[in-house]
Structure 1
Amino acid sequence: MKIKIVKKSKLPLPKYKTDGASGLDLYADIEDKIVLKPMERKLIPTGIHISLPEGYEAQIRARSGLAINHGIGLVNGIGTIDSDYRGEIKVILINWSSGEFIINRGDRIAQMVITKIVNVQLDEVESLDDTQRGEGGFGHTGM
């Protein structure tokens, strides 16, 4: 599948790091380094705009290496780029660690996964069908 992309940066296009990767690496399109203090969050530009076909979304996800090695994540867990959005993709990073983290121009800050979505029609009813699990949740099956 081809996705139209406008790159307003001299950084490389997002790319898959390996043949089996599901996420395209996104780069920090910043002029000067950004210092992310503990518990601080900042909006980091990527310099790219995309056009997705209707029925698809781009999920912006944290990079596992940044998470485990530096405590860097996404404030909203997973960001969603809808098929009708044409603005610049930006990533809301947060520093969960106790030390400062420096973001430099061109650093790989997140990954973008393109997924198919299904729009549904909600059918309001008085009750739902019974299942073995029922309303059990939040550890109801034990450890």
Structure 2
Amino acid sequence: MTSSIEILLTAERPPAYSHPGDAGADLHSAEALTLGPGERAMVGTGVSIALPDGYAAFVVPRSGLAAKHGITVVNSPGTVDAGYRGEIKVVLLNTDSNVPYDIAVGDRIAQLIVMPVTRAVFVPVETLPGSDRGEGGFGSTGYSSPTNGSQS
């Protein structure tokens, strides 16, 4: 099912999908900088949007930047609420401990995923209903060990 929403925006270079079927639209840097090893910086995109009510946008890392250069988004996903009208900025982190990373104006630095969201109604109760998982968390359902592939 293909659907579209109109998003009002101000930008010299608007977000764009690179390929048909992509979930994330590329966000481009509006400034040039160098991220030293272990450094983080808030990088402007020059993009401001007006999302319709019932939608949010999420800023996520580009997998190629992460895999090839260790560049990631610190607060991933960064949430852009429907009521926010300021510039979308991306908090990038260079996780490489030795090599700086240069960012030029126009470089693709992150992706923007626009999704419908539901507002929850939070209902205080004395106890919660049971579940199969219960209170287990943080790996309680098991994981594959990188050394032997067994379940823990």
TM-score normalised by the chain length of structure 1: 0.92
In 2, Cα distance between equivalents of 1:140 and 1:88 = 40
Q: Secondary structure at the match of 2:119?
A: coil
Name the residue aligned to 1:36: 35
Letter in 1 for 2:25: L
Name the residue aligned to 2:145: none
Letter in 2 for 1:87: G
Task: Kindly indicate whether residue 9 of structure 2 is the aligned counterpart of residue 5 of structure 1.
Answer: yes
In 1, Cα distance between equivalents of 2:139 and 2:120 = 29
Q: Secondary structure at the match of 2:87?
A: coil
TM-score normalised by the chain length of structure 2: 0.87
Letter in 2 for 1:59: F
Task: Kindly indicate whether residue 140 of structure 2 is the aligned counterpart of residue 140 of structure 1.
Answer: yes
Instruction: Report sequence identity in percent.
Output: 44
Q: Greater shift after overlay, 92-101 or 129-138?
A: 129-138
Offset at 1:29? 0.6
Letter in 2 for 1:51: A
Name the residue aligned to 1:48: 47
Give the number of aligned pairs.
138
Task: Kindly indicate whether residue 78 of structure 2 is the aligned counterpart of residue 74 of structure 1.
Answer: no
Q: Which runs of 5+ in 1 are unaligned?
A: none
Letter in 1 for 2:59: I
Offset at 1:68? 0.6
In 2, Cα distance between equivalents of 1:140 and 1:46 = 39
Q: Which runs of 5+ in 2 are unaligned?
A: 143-150
Q: Secondary structure at the match of 1:139?
A: coil
Q: Secondary structure at the match of 2:59?
A: strand
